[in-house]
Amino acid sequence: MAASRSGAHTHGVPVVSSFHFLLGPVIAAAALGLIILICRWVFSTDHREDRTGRRTQKAVGDLGLLVAVATVRTRDDAEMLKGVLADAGIRAGISGEYEVLVFGKDLDRARSLVGAR
């Protein structure tokens, strides 16, 4: 009777190789490699146009409706000129290079005020 039991145990067991335990980690490593390749493609800058350079060049050369009326050395000087123009009813702004900017329609009035000071 003992012989029939031992035969029953081995009859339904599938035969697998000794490397079946590596199947899960190999699949995980392949999936991780695929994700890394996709991320490199998505976040790379080689396939994109250089949009930031165009914006910077346009922003430096073209101020849209604004015209520089004066360029000063410090932010305080720019704020002072902006205040003088605001007192005269002229809307003004300041660029990063400490340029005082006004709209084109107010340019003549702004130049006369800035030149007088």
Tens digit of each residue's pLDDT (9 = 90 or more) over 22-68: 888 999 999 999 999 999 988 887 766 655 554 444 445 556 788 88
Instruction: Please indicate, yes or no, if residue 47 is contained in any of the structural domains.
Output: no
Please, what is the angle between helix 75-87 and helix 107-116, to 10°?
120
Residue 80 vs residues 24, 70, 109: alpha-carbon distances, Å: 70, 12, 17
Lowest mean pLDDT among 10-14, 35-39, 64-68, 82-86: 10-14
Instruction: Please indicate, yes or no, if residue 105 is contained in any of the structural domains.
Output: yes
Instruction: Please indicate, yes or no, if residue 76 is contained in any of the structural domains.
Output: yes
Structure tokens of 80? Answer: 């002072």
CATH number at residue 101: 3.30.70.1530
Structure tokens of 7? Answer: 């035969």
The pTM for the full model equals: 0.45
Structure tokens of 67? Answer: 């015209």
The reported pLDDT for the residue numbered 60 is 52
pLDDT at 5 over 60: no
Instruction: Please indicate, yes or no, if residue 32 is contained in any of the structural domains.
Output: no
CB-side exposure of 32: number of CA atoms within 13 Å? 6
Instruction: Please indicate, yes or no, if residue 56 is contained in any of the structural domains.
Output: no
Boundaries of domain holding 106: 62-116
Instruction: Please indicate, yes or no, if residue 94 is contained in any of the structural domains.
Output: yes
- Looking at every residue in the chain, the average pLDDT score rounds to 78
The reported pLDDT for the residue numbered 8 is 55
The reported pLDDT for the residue numbered 51 is 54
Instruction: Please indicate, yes or no, if residue 45 is contained in any of the structural domains.
Output: no
The proportion of the chain whose per-residue pLDDT surpasses 90, expressed as a percent, equals 18
Sheet order of strands, 99-103 included? 66-71, 99-103, 92-94
Structure tokens of 30? Answer: 């392949």
Spatial CA neighbour of 92 closest among 109, 115, 74, 116? 109
Count up the domains in the chain and report the number. 1
pLDDT at 18 over 90: no
Instruction: Please indicate, yes or no, if residue 43 is contained in any of the structural domains.
Output: no
